[in-house]
Structure 1
């Protein structure tokens, strides 16, 4: 994979054009996804290697992107540790047994790789299907984000219960986060051993935290995880909603790439980072709802801003929304692939 545009950019090496992939690229904006989803539950899709491979390959075959990302979910680690996880259309993920007491935390298991073997199996099937054409990205949820789902029992707008634990019972919060961090590092190493070519850590709800709380309850654990990865020739991408604020701190954990949300100027962020750390991003996904002339204008504007910069991977500031027109996504990818420095 040393000649891959994505891998070269992730390691801040020169490329002829920016590589492109998009968070949630194998998802609900494609009718082909729904043809599969209407036959199986979400967890069945994640846990059946052939189906996970089918979904992973959709954007490879339909969009011709420069990197595939494993089809799975950030909460499979929480489930493996003992969470009773379910997904309901229109509601999202739920844990029927929220983690809110010392006993709840103590009951969570950390030696759980056997329960995540289906992910390694899926990676092997996907690698076979990709046949060396493009890299495969593995991923995991960051400890704070996984913790928030476990504590809240599902999605939350204000993370009240999670923040109460951070502030009123910090020792309990650290005990929970430490357990999740151990599982997350083991899980990412499992993916690397199974054959992924890069890994991304998703801290989807980090923007809920203040600067000091982010350092203590998120960054500290991401730093631990990255330090434990078997990362030889495997770029590590760190993403959080809030990266436009937290990027300088995120760099302290020594990822190869920082994926930036759309609230900042990407070049300004890049210049704040140590030499050799690439950036990924950071188009506002809402742009993909707009007319094609607007999509073209905004993408070219970003590319002109980043002209001459090694270490730039095109992506969105967050994932594709389910009702974004497929044709607009395809147009964006084709436009990017025609670009050259």
Structure 2
């Protein structure tokens, strides 16, 4: 995979054009995804290696992107530790047994590799199908984000219960985060052993945190996870919503790539990061709703800004929304691939 555009850019080598993949690229904006989703539950899709491979391959075959990302979910670690996880249409993920007391934290398991074996099995199937064509990215949810779902019992707008634990019971919060961090490092190493070519850590809710809280309750655990990874030849990407604020701190955890949201000028941010740290991003996903002329203009503007800058992977500042027209996503990829 050393010749892959994506791997080269992730390791800050020069590439003839920025490689492209997009967060949530194997998702609900594709009719073909729904053809599968209408037959199986979301967790069945995650836990059945052949189905996970089918969904992972959709953007590879339909969009011709430069990297595939494993079809799974950031909450499988929380489930493996003992969370009673379900996904409901229009509601999202729920944990029926939220983690709120010392006893709840004590009950969480950390030796859960066997429970996540289905992910390793899916990776093997996907790699057979990719057949060395493009790299496969594995991923995991960051401890703070997984914690917030476990404590809230699902998605939250204000993270009130999570923040109450951070502020009133910091020792308990650290115990919970420490357990999740241990599982996350093991889980990413399990994916690397199974054959992924890169890994990304998703801290989807980091922007909910004040600077000092981010440092204490998120960043320190990402530092710990990255330090434990078997990362030889495997680029590590760190993503969080809020990276336009936190990126310089994120770089201190020594990832190879920091994924940047759309609230900041990408080149300015890259210049604030240490030499040799690549950036990924940072088109506002909402641009993909716009007319094709706008899509092309915005991508060209971003690429002109980043011209001759080694260590740049094109992505969105966050994931593709479910109702973005498929044709617009396909067009964006074509614009990127024609760039010179």
Normalising by structure 2, we get a TM-score of 1.00
Over the residues paired in the alignment, what is the CA RMSD in angstroms?
Answer: 0.2
Residue 62 of structure 1: aligned partner: 62
**Is 2:272 the partner of 1:254?**
no
C-alpha offsets along residues 79-126 of structure 1, whole Å, 9 cap, x if unaligned? 000000000000000000000000000000000000000000000000
C-alpha offsets along residues 113-163 of structure 1, whole Å, 9 cap, x if unaligned? 000000000000000000000000000000000000000000000000000
C-alpha offsets along residues 263-310 of structure 1, whole Å, 9 cap, x if unaligned? 000001100000000000000000000000000010000000001100
Residue 318 of structure 2: aligned partner: 318
Residue 156 of structure 1: aligned partner: 156
Residue 303 of structure 2: aligned partner: 303
Partners of 2:187 and 2:269 lie apart in 1 by: 30
Partners of 1:115 and 1:223 lie apart in 2 by: 25
C-alpha offsets along residues 196-216 of structure 1, whole Å, 9 cap, x if unaligned? 000000000000000000000
SS in 1 for 2:297: helix
Partners of 1:321 and 1:102 lie apart in 2 by: 37
SS in 2 for 1:279: strand
Partners of 1:298 and 1:338 lie apart in 2 by: 15
Residue 234 of structure 2: aligned partner: 234
Structure 1 residue 44, shift from structure 2 partner: 0.1
Residue 19 of structure 2: aligned partner: 19
Residue 8 of structure 1: aligned partner: 8
SS in 1 for 2:73: coil
Residue 121 of structure 1: aligned partner: 121
Residue 245 of structure 1: aligned partner: 245
Structure 2: state its 5+ residue gaps.
none
Residue 284 of structure 1: aligned partner: 284
Structure 1: state its 5+ residue gaps.
none
Partners of 1:147 and 1:264 lie apart in 2 by: 27
Partners of 2:56 and 2:203 lie apart in 1 by: 21
Residue 167 of structure 1: aligned partner: 167
C-alpha offsets along residues 217-263 of structure 1, whole Å, 9 cap, x if unaligned? 00000000000000000000000000000000001000000000000
Normalising by structure 1, we get a TM-score of 1.00
Partners of 1:109 and 1:103 lie apart in 2 by: 12
Counting matched residue pairs gives 340
Where does structure 1 differ by over 2 angstroms across 4 or more consecutive aligned residues? Answer: none
